[in-house]
Amino acid sequence: MQKSTLFAAALAVLATTAAAETVKLTTLEWPPYVNADASGTSTDAVIAAFAAAGDQVVAEVFPWNRAVNLAAKDPNYLGLYPEYYDAGADAEKGGDRCIYSAPFGTSPVGFIHRKDNAFDWSDHASLANYRIGVVEGYINEARFDGMVADGSLKVDAGPTDASNVEKVAAGRMDAAVIDRNVFEHMLATEPRLAKHADALVFHKSPLANHNLLVCFENSDQGRAARDRFNSGL
């Protein structure tokens, strides 16, 4: 009886292993959420959710715009993380790019500025008085991004958060949009930015608190992977 039970258990393990799928996702270097080797808090959450559903994850790090394009166009990849929600991209609501998972984390977004400058804001209209840094290709916040698109705001689109931090510290921009956790992690771990810690501050008024999502390709395979991920959450 004991041998039969062990044999049945072994068969169950083999069946589970055979049924498990490997899900390839693209991501970006964005510590502490995702590090250069793809480790990080977001990766941990994504791996754990898929593991609970019986799947394995292979995550590959690319520059952001390339990560987006590969996830959307390369059949080897089923999706991209961590993403903010974008109605224009949501294929289940008339968008043109992907289908979104349930949230697996949050991202508090706001403005950094020099302590000794006059930057302040209480509504979006007041932001028109400043030159603000953004990262090229990033979603920031719907109304803010709309004002950038229609020319109501003066922005400087840089390649990375780190470059924007340096520009704000040097007084080349009045403020920059950034995730608070990313900003604090940079000051704590990157010497070239840590030297600016006393000069910079994260503004008390947040711009947005985004959910972190996986953006799966708009296909039957992508939808199935999204459903397994959500069940694992």
User: Does a cis peptide bond (omega within 30 degrees of 0) precede residue 32?
Assistant: yes
Task: Provide the CATH number for the domain around residue 52.
Answer: 3.40.190.10
Separate counts of helices (H) and strands (E) for the chain: 8, 10
Task: Quote the mean pLDDT of the chain.
Answer: 92
In percent, the amount of the chain with pLDDT more than 70 equals 92
Q: How many CB atoms lie within 10 A of CB 129?
A: 13
Whether residues 28 and 83 share a domain: the answer is: yes
Cut 0.95: pTM above it: no
Q: What is the DSSP string of 50-66?
A: HHHTT-EEEEEE--HHH
Q: Is the pLDDT of residue 78 over 90?
A: yes
DSSP tag of 116 = T
Whether residues 92 and 118 share a domain: the answer is: no
Whether residues 123 and 200 share a domain: the answer is: yes
Give me the domain span that covers residue 45: 2-105+211-232
Whether residues 134 and 222 share a domain: the answer is: no
Note the pLDDT of residue 200.
Answer: 98
Q: Is the pLDDT of residue 204 over 80?
A: yes
Whether residues 223 and 149 share a domain: the answer is: no
Whether residues 180 and 219 share a domain: the answer is: no
- Say if strands 200-202 and 105-114 run parallel, antiparallel, or are unpaired: antiparallel
Note the pLDDT of residue 96.
Answer: 86
By mean pLDDT, which of 6-10, 125-129, 153-157, 220-224 is the weakest? 6-10
Whether residues 182 and 219 share a domain: the answer is: no
Whether residues 113 and 199 share a domain: the answer is: yes
Give how many domains the chain has, as a whole number.
Answer: 2
Which of the four pLDDT bands, split at 50, 70 and 90, describes residue 19?
Answer: low
Whether residues 134 and 220 share a domain: the answer is: no
